[in-house]
Amino acid sequence: MADTIMAEVEYLGDLRTKATHLKSGNSYTSDAPIDNQGKGEAFSPTDLVSAALPSCMMTIMGQVATRESVDLRGLKSEVVKIMSANPRKIAEIKVRFFHPNLVATAVQKQKLENAARTCPVALSLSADLKQTVTFEW
């Protein structure tokens, strides 16, 4: 079975890229951050990795919520990315989920939290990258 190309990424110059999702045609631009010779006018590649974590977590939590008949709409998250200098890499991603009006039992909330922590992105990131995840229900 041949691999299916999911995206094309083009270098635009000035430390900027454009990625296009081939099936949908949706695209985004990335830019190097100001502290690393860029303009900081778009998500940096490490910003995208950091934002992918709660996005993936929410997707898997949504699957659990559907099975559990829990309405997860309104769930939000905040993401903090902490870089290390040498080598330059993401050292920690802090994610805070909050949904003060969630209607769910303690058992359902635990299932949602477990789902988040075991999403494919969380499991794919290096064990050296600290993932600090909190939930405020």
pLDDT tens per residue across span 108-126: 999 999 999 999 999 999 9
- CA distances to 18, 38, 110, 117 from 45, rounded to whole Å, are 11, 12, 31, 22
pLDDT digits (tens, 9 = 90+) for 16-52: 999 999 999 999 999 999 988 999 999 999 999 999 9
Write down the pLDDT at residue 1: 72
* CATH number of the domain enclosing 95: 3.30.300.20
Write down the pLDDT at residue 18: 97
Same domain, 11 and 71: no
* DSSP per-residue letters across 107-125: HHHHHHHHHHHTSHHHHHS
Total of domains in the chain: 2
Same domain, 8 and 28: yes
- CA distances to 84, 121, 126 from 135, rounded to whole Å, are 25, 18, 22
Same domain, 62 and 29: no
Q: What percentage of the chain exceeds 70 in pLDDT? A: 100
Same domain, 90 and 101: yes
Same domain, 39 and 63: no
Same domain, 23 and 59: no
Quick one: tokens of 122? 């969380």
pTM above 0.85, yes or no: yes
Average pLDDT, the chain: 96
Same domain, 68 and 55: yes
Q: pLDDT grade, residue 66 (50/70/90)?
A: very high
Same domain, 121 and 63: yes
Q: Structural domain of residue 93, as residue ranges?
A: 45-136
pLDDT of 2 higher than 90: no
Same domain, 60 and 108: yes
Same domain, 7 and 65: no
What's the average model confidence in pLDDT over 67-95? Answer: 97
